[in-house]
Structure 1
Amino acid sequence: MQSKKRWLILSHGFNMDGRASSQTITDKMPYFLEAGIEPTVFSAITGIKDRRFPHRQFLAWGPAAFRFDFRHWIANQYGRGLFYKVSTGIVSLLLAPLIALEKFFLGYSSQWSWAMPAFTHGYKLIRDGKIDLVYSTGGAWSAHLAGLWLKKVTGVKWIVEIHDPLVIRKSAVDIGLERPKNRDAGFRHYLEKQIIKHADFAWWFTDGALHYAKTRNTNLNTAGNAQGFRVLPGAEPPGGLIAAKSHLYTNTLNLSHSGSLAKDRSLSTILNALHSLFKKYPQAREKIRVHAYGAPLDELTIHAIKHYGYQDVLIAHGRLEKDPVTGKSGRERVVEKMQEADVLILLHGNDEWCAEYIPSKFYEYLWTGRPIWGITHRNPQLDEMLSERGAYLSQEGDSAGIDMAIERIWLDWNERKLIDPQWHPLGVDQAVAQILSKIEDKQ
């Protein structure tokens, strides 16, 4: 008898080096394979094709998503040199009128149209009896839309992994009941309700996200609706780490941040605190350096650098891609830089959605064995996870507290007594075990 383990996995950004939305699913694959799952993966063309199992990559059918996918495909194939600039420029110019029409009539985020080829090809597999379960994971919500269509048309079992909240609340008193006027936000609001009504299982990555989803949708966990739970996604040991590396103090206190930056998650917070520290300890000006990896600097950080004259204090390394000489992936190169740091900076943000969000980089930080300086916002779960492992902890918006934290780090470093964090990383194996346990209980 055929086992019920033939899974269709819908993941728009599968196998995109260094992308959190990719790593969350790709890190799980070895454990799924070990558990006897027979996966077929559908993704966009933006990632590297996986050879361990059937992996089909589709271009989105909408012009905005086509342009996005094309850019990444050209970069993967030919790099970001002259050919990339010319070819993507021509495609962008040709597609501009169609993109304008798409935005005018729909107003959705660009990747929405990837749901169409994912549904079309998924329907054929299900119709031919080759799929027992559909697993949509985002990243881009187009994967969930394709999963919803497949569920409605075929009745196939459907499980949903929601990375970031689909409904973005405005304040602590707003639970997200009102459908937003913005068309993309409004569709995500609708999609959340549809997931809870039609999916068999759905899970979120934080206690806060599950809490607010349940508050908005009282039918969650009731008969005939999705069974919802919380899964800590964890991360695989980046670069093959299996133990914390002993730290070597140098003549420089190196603070390191990895990941995206924005106005609500800005290294200007760190630079402002350093400016206060340098007034109190002038010698620190030549001893402290901040390293930024993985993203362009945000507008507030750029302004702070110019305002204070800190061009030598903050060093922007940009995104580390695969090294053709050593063969190391961008992810492996970044973890090497993490381990060289004295303290890792974790910026949470200042939006209300922080109550439902934990930066994915946090789980990679845990593998490095380096102390973390977390500047968090309205998230007791994240605060507790940081505190129980040993970390420097500040609250977003508390300038005095942030100034005290950087002073403590400076004094601890001078005494060679930085916090020695507990070696308690969270792997992906625990997430897979929890997912399989929930699903198999209902087989």
Structure 2
Amino acid sequence: MRVLIITYYWPPAGGSGVQRWLKFVKYLRDFEIEPIVYTVENPKYPILDESLQKDIPKGVEVLKQPIFEPNNLLSFFGNKKTESAGFLNPNPSFFGKLLQYIRANYFIPDARKFWINPSVNYLKSYISNNNIDSIITTGPPHSMHLIGLKLKQQLGVKWIADFRDPWTEIDYFHQLPLSKKTINKHHFLEQEVLLNADKVLVVGSTMNKNYTKFNNNVVTITNGFDGEIITSETKLDSKFTITHIGLMNADRNPKMLWNVLTEIISENKDFSEDFILKLIGKVDSSVIEEIATNKLNKNVEIIDYVSHNNVIEFQKKSQVLLLLLNNVPSAKGIITGKIFEYLMVNRPILAVAPLDGDLAEILNKINAGKVISFEDKVSLKSTILEMYSKYKQGNLRIDSKNVEQFHRKELTKKLAEIIKNTVMSVKAEIN
């Protein structure tokens, strides 16, 4: 069975966007499915990680076509903040505001829209001549889904739409300077994708519930980890390290955490000497300013982006792993990819997130850590002190259960069943 995967993110892209389908492709052959990848020839990825190339299975066909990205022009004019929606400039200049408005209202659904028609023209011929059983599109960017929509409409090919993040419910959607007409256009396109896809894949229960309103064939396949679960004792950091991996933007700036840490440090000399907070990845200037305001610089270590392999090493050694969700209206449905990488190394997780959200559901189900709500300063302080006390006693650990269900190979097994069922349904219709 041959499946064509349409994705913008592919090695050497780094970051979370590439992981999901790189790992699916890695294991699909184990379940008698041959993946073919269609991606961009000349992308402008904000993060590169050459080490991920090794996960591409030998002999997998990767089709590439050039793309025109207007973001290149915007960055030429000095609007580098627009390159990643997670780093939208909260205080842009007049010119910056104008560029943000143009990007938000003229590049719908996103700045990769100019790749849609050339891709459809190229793939129509390829699909017709190469016995493709189904196609899969993965977004964001959601222009990938519009490629799938047009191929579905023109060829009748079986189509699975995978949402790594929601479309109009994504955490930064409310920050974009969108006109009412543009908002309506986004909702219309999102619903067109949902109504026409044969199957819809999502990463969490909140998205599943929201999308089931438009499609009865919505299936949840979470993200996961790839590697052996670390059960043996590993050499931990000698300091009481709390480590955060990944993007920390303005929405994820945990002011409550900075206040709590400042209080504990001022009240507990031993904690002040033992404690190190490691921030690994891109950190917004507002976060750095908040750390300085709270006089936490001597206890904070900021490390720029490192390769995926090195990230695992940091996680293995850390006493506690920190997980911060964006304090936005859609927070209940956010499940960051890093949570599953955290699970693999079997260290206590401290999360600041909605108590009734998808993330809390996962952590509580497998007993992997503690979730604190955005405004609960008392619980956050007591939890950190409790973890520190266990660290001093030498027994800071967790006893997670059924973590194996989130291994990438197990998740790919579920995906393979969905692909086969989708393809077999069309064959049954023909017969």
**TM-score normalised according to structure 2 size:** 0.81
Looking at structure 1, the residues matched to 100 and 249 of structure 2 have their Cα atoms a distance apart, in angstroms, of 25
Work out whether 1:26 is the aligned partner of 2:3.
no
| Partner residue in 1 for 2:339 | 362
* Stretch of structure 1 that moved more, 368-377 or 100-109: 100-109
- Secondary structure (helix, strand or coil) at the match of 1:20 reads coil
Deviation at 1:245, TM superposition (A): 4.3
Question: 1:302 aligned to 2:303?
Answer: no
**Equivalent residues in 2 for 1:26-425 (5 A)?**
26-44=22-40, 45-46=42-43, 52-64=59-71, 105-106=106-107, 108-168=109-169, 181=179, 185-215=183-213, 217=214, 220-221=215-216, 227-237=217-227, 241-295=228-282, 297-320=283-306, 330-377=307-354, 379-387=356-364, 388-422=366-400, 424-425=403-404
| Structure 1 residue identity aligned to 2:352 | I
CA contact (8 A) 1:61 1:114 kept: yes
SS of structure 2 residue aligned to 1:55? strand
- Tell me, in whole angstroms, the C-alpha distance in 1 between the residues paired with 2:103 and 2:376: 43
Structure 2 portions without partners, runs of 5+: 76-97, 425-431
CA distance in 2, matches of 1:8, 1:66: 31
Q: Which residue of 1 aligns with 2:79?
A: none
Partner amino acid, structure 1, of 2:186: R
Q: TM-score, normalised by structure 1?
A: 0.79
Change (3 A) 1:393 1:197: closer
Contact 2:343 2:368 in 1 (8 A): no
Deviates more, 1:123-132 or 1:195-204: 123-132
Unmatched 5+ residue regions in structure 1? 69-96, 171-175, 222-226, 321-329
Aligned with 2:279: secondary structure? Answer: strand
Q: Which residue of 2 aligns with 1:81?
A: none
Aligned residue identity for 2:243: S
For the residues of structure 2 that align with 1:144 and 1:65, how far apart are their CA atoms? 22
**Structure 1 CA distance for aligned equivalents of residues 103 and 385 of structure 2:** 51
Q: Distance in 1 between matches of 2:123 and 2:180?
A: 30
For 1:19, give the aligned amino acid: G
3-state DSSP of counterpart to 2:60? coil
**CA spacing shift, 1:305–1:162, aligned 2, 3 Å:** same
SS of match in other structure, 1:27: helix
Q: Decide whether the 8 Å contact of 2:205 with 2:333 is kept in 1.
A: yes
1:227-281 deviations in Å (ceiling 9; x for gaps) = 11211222212xxx44334144554101100011112212544322211112321
Residues 290, 101 of structure 1: alpha-carbon distance in 2 compared, 3 angstrom cutoff:
closer
**Cα deviation code 1:332-351 (max 9, x no counterpart):** 01100111100000112211
> Residues 107-134 of structure 1, C-alpha deviation per residue, up to 9 Å, x if partnerless?
6532232323322221111232532211
Structure 1 SS opposite 2:5: strand
Distance 1:379 1:366, change over 3 A: same
SS in 2 for 1:437: helix
- CA change 1:410–1:214 in 2 (3 A) is same
Change (3 A) 1:374 1:17: same
CA RMSD in angstroms comes to: 2.9
Q: CA deviation at 1:289?
A: 0.4
Deviation string for 1:7-44 (max 9, x for gaps)?
11101001245421211000111221222222221112
Task: Work out whether residues 372 and 391 of structure 1, in 8 Å CA contact, stay in contact via their aligned partners in 2.
Answer: yes
The letter of the residue matching 2:159 is W
Q: 1:356 to 1:393 in 2, by over 3 A?
A: closer
Q: How many residues align?
A: 383
Q: Distance in 1 between matches of 2:338 and 2:302?
A: 18
Between the aligned partners of 2:187 and 2:341, the Cα distance in structure 1 is 30
Check 1:366–1:18 CA distance in 2 against 1; reply closer, same or farther (3 A cut): farther
- Whole-Å Cα distance in 2 between the matches of residues 152 and 199 of structure 1? 10
Segments of 4+ in structure 1 off by > 3 A?
45-51, 65-68, 97-108, 180-188, 247-251, 378-381
C-alpha deviation, 1:431, in angstroms: 1.9
Q: Is contact 1:6–1:37 with CA below 8 Å preserved after alignment?
A: yes
Taking a change above 3 Å as real, the CA distance of residues 333 and 267 of structure 1, as seen in their structure-2 partners, is farther
1:175-204 superposed Cα distances (whole Å, 9 cap, x missing partner): x9xxx7466654432232112221111111
Aligned in 2, Cα 1:441/1:54: closer, same or farther, shift over 3 Å? closer
SS class of match (1:9): strand
From the superposition, tell whether residues 124 and 300 of structure 1 become closer, same or farther in structure 2 (CA, over 3 Å): same
**CA-to-partner distance for each residue in 1:57-90, whole Å, 9 max, x for gaps?**
233234326888xxxxxxxxxxxxxxxxxxxxxx
1:308 deviation in Å? 2.3
Read off the aligned partner of 1:351 and give its amino acid letter: V
Aligned 8 A contact 1:43 1:56 in 2: yes
Q: Is the 8 A contact 1:271 1:304 kept in 2?
A: yes
AA aligned opposite 2:252 = R
2:93 is aligned to: none
Counterpart CA distance in 2 for 1:209 and 1:346 is: 20
The question of whether the paired residues in 2 share the 8 Å contact of 1:210 and 1:228 is answered with yes
Q: 2:170, 2:399 → 1: CA distance?
A: 34
